Structure 1
Amino acid sequence: MKLFSGSFSAIEKGLDYSALKQKVVANNIANADTPNYKSKEVSFKKMFDETLADQLAAYRTDSRHFSFQSSRNHPAVVTNRNLSFNQNGNSVDVDKEMSDLATNQIYYNALVDRMGSKFNSLTNVIKGGR
């Protein structure tokens, strides 16, 4: 949704990140007792690089120049393979996951609040300031 500025799309990308993080954290918590389950996390850097690549448009004068196409084949969810907190090989730290869940909820609420204020500003402009 590209109305008047890039702020709506930036907030939308932030909400996409928050939704993916919520899914991953919830999946980790649900599998806290599963033997040999390795916890996963969302790589902010990979998501940021994909978003940046989507927004960059480059004119290539030579085929040897770098391409700015999005690299969708690398998922933003990474698995922590070398960790093990339990005797059964599980690497989920429930305290850390609950902390991540709370942090993500605050982030999501801030983005939703910002989106609401953007829409309120647009409504105010449409009504002529009344």
Structure 2
Amino acid sequence: MINKLDAALSFHQTALRVRNQRQELLASNIANADTPHYKARDIDFKSTFSQALQQSISTTANPQQTGGLQQTSNGHMTGTASNSYAGAGEPLFRPVVQGAVDGNTVDMDEERNAYVDNSIRYEASLTMITGQIKKMLTAINGQ
């Protein structure tokens, strides 16, 4: 039963994890907008998400492989060693749109737009996963 619940929620769970990883990078870029020689970084959401989803599917199919954690009993929950995915979503340096004299490549307009867009998509995933949980609770309660 747990594997069916995992499968039903894994898509949005993975999307939330990758969006969170991207949000942290974007926040770091904004925080370092005035740091000399700071290079803006981001991840390619599409490729990172597809890699993370494949990793999530393989972990669900074989729960004994949980990113370095050992499951000693079938009653134990599976987990991953961290919220980021090894090898997936390595931060890339963002191309320079307009360079600064101090070598900083953060474009605040681009960063704010990307941050807000990512936030909205994160909230949309939360709304969808909440809807799935409500449907499951309705089915369980028989209403």
Structure 1: any 5+ residue segments left out of the alignment?
58-70
Q: How many Å separate the matches in 2 of 1:77 and 1:15?
A: 17
1:48 partner letter:
S
Q: How many Å separate the matches in 2 of 1:74 and 1:121?
A: 32
Kept after mapping to 2: 8 A contact 1:18/1:104: yes
Q: How many Å separate the matches in 1 of 2:107 and 2:7?
A: 37
Matches within 5 A, 1:7-86: 7-44=8-45, 45-55=47-57, 72-73=86-87, 75-80=89-94, 83=96, 85-86=99-100
2:26 partner letter:
V
Kept after mapping to 2: 8 A contact 1:42/1:76: yes
Q: Which ranges of 4 or more aligned residues in structure 1 deviate by more than 6 Å?
A: none
Structure 2: any 5+ residue segments left out of the alignment?
62-84
Give me the TM-score of the superposition, normalised by structure 1.
Answer: 0.76
| Number of residue pairs matched by the alignment | 115
User: 1:128–1:47: structure 2 CA closer, same or farther, 3 Å change rule?
Assistant: closer
Q: Which residue of 1 aligns with 2:75?
A: none
Kept after mapping to 2: 8 A contact 1:2/1:9: no
Aligned CA RMSD, in angstroms, stands at: 2.3
Match of 2:105 among 87, 91, 101: 91
Give me the TM-score of the superposition, normalised by structure 2.
Answer: 0.70
Pairwise CA distance, 1:24: 0.3
Choose 1 or 2 for highest CA Rg.
1
